[in-house]
Amino acid sequence: MEVLIENIITYSVVVLLIVLLIYFQLRKGKKQSKTVKEKIERAKQLGFHEPVSLHPVVNLDVCIGSAACVAACPEKDILGLIDGKAATINASRCVGHGACFHSCPLGAISLVIGTEKRGVDLPHVSHEFETNVKGIFIAGELGGMGLIKNAVTQGRQAVDNIAKNLSRAPKSEYDIVIIGAGPAGISASLAAKEKELRTITLEQDSLGGTVYSFPRKKIIMTAPMHLPLHGKVKYTEMTKIELLTLWNEVLMKNKISIQENERVLSIEKHEYYFVVKTNKKTITTNAVLLAIGRRGTPRKLGVEGEGLEKVSYRLIEPELISNQNVLVVGGGDSAIEAALALLEGNNNITISYRGDSFSRLKPKNFENIKNATDERKIDIIFKSNVTAISEKAVKIMFEKDGITLEKEIKNDLVFILAGGELPNDFLTNAGIRITKKYGEAVLKHQD
């Protein structure tokens, strides 16, 4: 009898502990869901909930709520859990790390470009990075994957695919012409050298591509990556200078030179090879790899005075600018980072942005610009457009309380960082088909 009573007490304690555990787990989950819902509502108010480019989409029928995707995301608060299922919070802040995709134990996440309502122009690219034009390949940002690690990986993979099916025409000077010397182009150049392919790399600006135009002290968030002929780069945080220095050292060590300030004007396909025309020469090649990014040429305002010397479309060394009246045009990360970098020089900074709020910023940039405006270090004019630029001033048209107004402010320098025009004409002239993607999966698990 005593044994029976002891067993009943033991089982009762175990059951009670299990019930308490379930209760606290449910309570924790309910509290967690409430917090995530509040974050989503906040994101909607700030314009961060609607995706603008690459973003995760969760298959709720497969998701088990392990939270592995939430923990894996380096940007934080892109994903959260609601009622035991993953949900997107700040979708517009996703930069395509892909960590959520790889961490999901059941493959419930796909990385998608565009939405049902908002399409994104992308060239047609196969799983082997080849376009509809046989022999022309695309890697990196132009294909929808802009993160440095992803671009480096794709550059290497594209060259692997080119090498597997390469057929050498007698008239070709090169096996591959690589256009663009950003992360994808540099990785591809190293991979081509490793495979002993005849290669030339062309860059319309400077080594590093878009990275070169970042402010000197900008922290570039990268996951560990593998560079051909170098090995694994273990850093998860690097400044622009550190990354450019690494690339230069690896290229020099392997005797690879980049043809800088050489702009490609056209690509013509002949029966067995391509003719690539630049602003300096004409080249023949068996294959072409485009690693030029999505920005193409800087977007211009088309206003009076835009051709003045004080107007620039990139900021390279903000530390050399001080005690100036500066106007920054744009509302993306590049514009905000430029404005914040210019604070150190005791400059008087104004930002002109056509939108009514910043909806595409990384969390750290959003927090920093909010603090700067709260402390009145930077003046922001939302719903505004520059109408004219002169030697000593700029005119800005803006909307306030439903009324359109115009004002003139003192100005010494103008930085137009409003993105770039997609190189659609260049691509279509080369025969590459461009389609608008409405919620199409760029990376997904096989069914």
Asked, for residue 75, whether it belongs to a domain, the answer is: yes
Same domain, 27 and 139: no
3-state secondary structure of 98: coil
| Selected residue with higher pLDDT from 319 and 184 | 184
Encode pLDDT of 8-37 as tens digits: 777 777 777 777 777 666 666 678 788 888
**Stretch 393-404: mean pLDDT:** 92
Distance between CA atoms of residues 98 and 73, nearest Å: 8
Q: Residue 368: which CATH number?
A: 3.50.50.60
Encode pLDDT of 48-88 as tens digits: 777 767 788 899 898 988 889 888 887 778 898 888 888 88
Same domain, 303 and 399: yes
Same domain, 101 and 133: no
Asked, for residue 440, whether it belongs to a domain, the answer is: no
Same domain, 304 and 334: yes
Tell me the one-letter amino acid at 294. R
Which of 23-37, 325-339, 349-363, 421-435 has maximum average pLDDT? 325-339
Asked, for residue 443, whether it belongs to a domain, the answer is: no
Quick check: 94 pLDDT over 80? no
Quick check: 359 pLDDT over 90? no
3-state secondary structure of 244: helix
Same domain, 269 and 314: no
Helix (H) or strand (E) holding 200: strand 199-202
pLDDT for the residue numbered 259: 93
Asked, for residue 119, whether it belongs to a domain, the answer is: no
Helix (H) or strand (E) holding 112: strand 109-113
**Stretch 221-245: mean pLDDT:** 78
Got the DSSP string for 395-440? Answer: EEEEEETTEEEEEEEE-SEEEE-S-EE--HHHHHHTT--EEEESSE
Encode pLDDT of 171-200 as tens digits: 789 999 999 998 999 999 999 999 999 999
**Stretch 387-393: mean pLDDT:** 96
Q: Which residue has the tokens 């835009």?
A: 306
**Stretch 211-224: mean pLDDT:** 64
- Using CA atoms, how far residue 96 sits from 15, 40, 92, 99, 332, in Å, is 45, 19, 11, 8, 16
**Strand stretches in 223-316, DSSP E:** 225-227, 231-233, 237-239, 258-259, 264-269, 274-278, 282-290, 297-298, 311-312
pLDDT for the residue numbered 218: 62
Domain boundary among 53, 81, 113: 113
Domain boundary among 69, 90, 113: 113
Neighbouring-strand partners of residue 123: 434
Asked, for residue 324, whether it belongs to a domain, the answer is: yes
**Stretch 97-101: mean pLDDT:** 78
Q: Residue 24: which CATH number?
A: 3.30.70.20
Range 124-130, long-range pairs (CB < 8 A, 24+ positions)? 124/432, 124/433, 124/434, 124/435, 128/158, 128/161, 129/154, 129/157, 129/158, 129/161, 130/161
Report the number of distinct structural domains present in the chain. 3
- Domain membership of residue 157 as a residue range: 125-296+422-431
Task: Note whether 423 and 297 are within 8 A (CB).
Answer: yes
Instruction: Give, rounded to a whole angstrom, the gap between the first and last alpha carbons of the chain.
Output: 58
Domain boundary among 67, 88, 113: 113
Asked, for residue 168, whether it belongs to a domain, the answer is: yes
Same domain, 354 and 375: yes
Same domain, 292 and 303: no
Cα 368 vs. chain centroid, distance in angstroms? 19
Same domain, 406 and 311: yes
* Residue 385: band (very low, low, confident or very high) from pLDDT cuts 50, 70, 90: very high
Same domain, 265 and 143: yes
Asked, for residue 374, whether it belongs to a domain, the answer is: yes
**CA-based nearest residue to 111, from 129, 91, 90:** 91
pLDDT for the residue numbered 170: 77
C-alpha dihedral sign at 396, 401, 404, 408: negative
Q: What is the mean pLDDT of the chain?
A: 85
Quick check: 96 pLDDT over 90? no
Got the DSSP string for 295-306? Answer: --EEPP---BTT
In 3-state terms the chain splits into helix, strand, coil percentages (rounded to 5) of 30, 30, 40
Distance between CA atoms of residues 362 and 113, nearest Å: 18
| Selected residue with higher pLDDT from 317 and 332 | 332
| Selected residue with higher pLDDT from 170 and 132 | 132
The residues, any chain, with a CB within 8 Å of residue 378's CB and separated by 6 or more, are 339, 340, 343, 349, 350, 351, 369, 372
**CA-based nearest residue to 107, from 138, 134, 86, 136:** 86
Task: Note whether 175 and 287 are within 8 A (CB).
Answer: yes
Quick check: 440 pLDDT over 70? yes
Same domain, 108 and 176: no
**Stretch 374-378: mean pLDDT:** 93
Same domain, 156 and 281: yes
Same domain, 275 and 356: no
Encode pLDDT of 254-309 as tens digits: 999 999 999 999 999 998 899 999 999 999 999 999 998 766 677 889 999 998 98
* Residue 134: band (very low, low, confident or very high) from pLDDT cuts 50, 70, 90: very high
* Residue 420: band (very low, low, confident or very high) from pLDDT cuts 50, 70, 90: confident
pLDDT for the residue numbered 146: 61
Which of 111-115, 203-207, 285-289, 299-303 has maximum average pLDDT? 285-289
| Selected residue with higher pLDDT from 218 and 101 | 101
Phi, psi dihedrals of residue 192, rounded to the nearest 5°: -65, -40
Distance between CA atoms of residues 99 and 112, nearest Å: 14
Distance between CA atoms of residues 263 and 211, nearest Å: 17
Quick check: 97 pLDDT over 70? no
Asked, for residue 88, whether it belongs to a domain, the answer is: yes
The residues, any chain, with a CB within 8 Å of residue 413's CB and separated by 6 or more, are 310, 312, 321, 324, 325, 326, 327
**Pair type for strands 378-381 and 348-352:** parallel
Residues counted in the chain: 447
